Structure 1
């Protein structure tokens, strides 16, 4: 059935441009699960991934008259999803490295699962390097970036001043980036693991 829908995608696009909600629903059925899976690999959150897919399709519907694609919406939808992912993580962690990581993955095909292995290798290397840092930096990074505690909460938990927490976090992240070398752009994955 999906093959049949794909064969009719140019007609669906034309109908969508003319305001057909039925065509919109068919396009949603064709792409929503793939966009959700793509988003989930980055967000690690079902709820966030669902929101991103909803936002993408709301934007597609709102801008349907401006669609230039005639044969397939695949590239457009994945590019839109990529931008929503970048915006979501900029808001959350304000790190431009995430955009570089998304761009890197996007260049290696959104259907290519090989980066899953890279991610696992990165996580293993990251954890090994994290263990080489001073104990306070390890704790602060783990509480801040993995467990998402605020600096004040960390200060209370570890009986430190907020300034000490900020300093230890900054020093620890700098050391991690240096030790990860060329994998430094993946450091941002720490925030979503």
Structure 2
């Protein structure tokens, strides 16, 4: 999977300069999928993910000339997306409800005894545990293991060095294993096999 991509500045290959409307469109087309995937993993809802990504790009198109002055456009867009995801989570916490088959149930009412809800329970448990990780660890794990980005791509999106990403991944896996009450030794091979 590709990283958030900065399209050609127009000097080579005849592509549209970023400052043009075609440049914004090219940037959008090159990056929307990764940003949408990240938001979906964080929020667990395609509708919410689409909404926050759309908000980011609507804001960006209005300030496009200013954004182009950024040193790292990839990191800037990722940061903008993370802020929108956090806002969406806050709205959800106020509701504190889970929608299941059109019925609204509190999390306490979701029973682990119901086989149809076991997958939902596991997803809620993982999302809750991920939400308890420090932000940088959560971001690194999500980008690497759920979006399938390389450590170099994760470093670029997060605006940090590759060794820093490796440290966030290691600490994040350890803490996630503790939160899920797993033995970290058993957990490491599992995380290596994720896409």
- TM-score of the pair, normalised by structure 1: 0.47
Between structure 1 and structure 2, the one with the greater Rg is 1
- TM-score of the pair, normalised by structure 2: 0.47
Q: Which has the higher helix share?
A: 1
